[in-house]
Amino acid sequence: MALKILSVDDSRTIRLIVTRAFKAYDCIICEAANGEEGLAAAAREKPDLVILDVTMPVMDGVTMLGKLKDDPDLKAIPVIMLTAESSQENVLQISRLGVRDYLAKPFKEEQLLEKAGRVVPLVKKAA
Amino acid sequence: MNTTIPNLIDEVSDLLNIGVSEVFRTMLTLEAKPAAVLHDWHASGETLVAGSVGFIGDVNGVVYVHVTAGFARKLASRMLGLAEAELEGDEMVNDVIGELSNMIVGNVKSRLCDSGAPCVLTIPSIVRGQNFKIEPVHSCERRLLAFRCDADHIMVELLMKHST
């Protein structure tokens, strides 16, 4: 069964890059443009992994992560934060909220796949 | 961060030099090489695209990343892995330039925070047009940084506010 990955980022560019990164793998990518839409998508889709931006309008990634971890139905979903803000304080803050890993922007698709592969079993699509 | 604005703006300029090269290399596999600032870096009347992201906190400033509209389309095509004809209008191009600007300034912001000058980033915005220039108010210090990617130019403009 295909893995379901939820990409939450206000940048369409990043959502397209995430989708492209997993193209060769047996994954379904769902998208949301902010934390509020991301929470709704997480409740609806029950993804196997969330790839979450930090700075977004409406609801930022840190707030969404906190709400996800407060929800008994969603708190087990692993989250990888994708952030342009990788200061030590930021990284500490998101670690405390139970994030599984983080990736600082700029990033290479291989780095994202490597991090994701440590959290969920990525299987290449049959040729 | 216990330093004066002239020193600080030099430090931020250095961080931008590193950030631009790193972002272009990682996201676009392009070498953005520091170059001399040219005032005729684009043809008169050529459409320009500028991505802008600010940082607010113990240090305050804004960074504009200027490129020509033609180069912006090339960058979007390369970053998204799409042919230029597949780019839907200006929206996808604007989003790419906004995201590149966000990564460049995010890098600077993280290093400022780590060196004791906490600040937050603003949401990226885009200015698109012909023959426009950014005019700083008198309380701002300004630096221009130029880069070349082969024949194309990137102009990075940094404005920083004096502490009160």
Domain borders along chain A are 3-119
- How many Cα atoms within 13 Å fall on the side-chain side of residue B100? 34
**Above 60 in pLDDT, residue A125?**
yes
Instruction: Provide the pLDDT for residue B5.
Output: 55
Each residue's pLDDT tens digit, B10-28 = 999 999 999 999 999 999 9
The tokens describing B86, both together, are 């597949």
What is the band of A113 on the pLDDT scale with cuts at 50, 70, 90?
A: very high
| A82/A61 Cα distance (integer angstroms) | 9
Q: DSSP characters for B82-138?
A: --GGGS-TTHHHHHHHHHHHHHHHHHHHHHHHHTT--EEEPPPEEEEEES------T
What is the band of B6 on the pLDDT scale with cuts at 50, 70, 90?
A: low
User: Domain limits at B65?
Assistant: 7-161
State the DSSP H helix or E strand holding residue B64, giving kind and residue range, or none if neither.
strand B61-68
Chain-centre distance of CA A6, in angstroms? 6
List of chain B residues whose C-beta atoms are within 8 Å of the C-beta of residue A85: 106, 109-110, 113, 121
Mean pLDDT of chain A: 93
Instruction: Report which DSSP code applies to B68.
Output: E
In a domain, B86, yes or no: yes
In a domain, B105, yes or no: yes
In a domain, B124, yes or no: yes
- CB nearest B109 (choices: A13, A16, A85): A85
Percent share of chain A, pLDDT over 90:
80
Percent share of chain B, pLDDT over 90:
71
**Mean pLDDT across A11-18:** 95
Number of folded domains that form chain B: 1
Per CB distance under 8 Å, which residues of B are interface residues toward A? 22-23, 26-27, 76, 79-81, 91-92, 95-96, 98-99, 102-103, 105-107, 109-111, 113-114, 118, 121, 123
List of chain A residues whose C-beta atoms are within 8 Å of the C-beta of residue B81: 20
**Above 80 in pLDDT, residue A67?**
yes
List of chain B residues whose C-beta atoms are within 8 Å of the C-beta of residue A12: 91-92, 95
Is any Cβ of chain B less than 8 angstroms from the Cβ of A95?
no
A17 to B79: CB separation less than 8 angstroms, yes or no: yes
Instruction: Provide the pLDDT for residue B151.
Output: 92
**Mean pLDDT across B88-100:** 94
Residue of A nearest to B121 (CA): A55
Find the CATH number of the domain harbouring B30.
3.40.1550.10
Each residue's pLDDT tens digit, A42-64 = 999 999 999 999 888 899 999 99
Closest approach of A73 to chain B, Cα-based (Å): 31
| A49/A119 Cα distance (integer angstroms) | 8
**Above 80 in pLDDT, residue A29?**
yes
Instruction: Provide the pLDDT for residue B156.
Output: 97
**Above 80 in pLDDT, residue B125?**
yes
The ipTM assigned to this model is 0.87
Instruction: Provide the pLDDT for residue B1.
Output: 52
In a domain, B1, yes or no: no
Least confident of A88-97, B113-122, B139-148: A88-97
In a domain, B2, yes or no: no
State the DSSP H helix or E strand holding residue A111, giving kind and residue range, or none if neither.
helix A109-119
SS3 content of chain B, % helix, strand, coil (to 5): 40, 30, 30
Q: Does domain A3-119 have CATH number 3.40.50.720?
A: no
In a domain, B47, yes or no: yes
**Mean pLDDT across A14-20:** 96
Those residues with Cβ within 8 angstroms of residue B39's Cβ, 6 or more apart along the chain or in another chain: none
What Rg value do the Cα atoms of chain A yield, rounded?
13
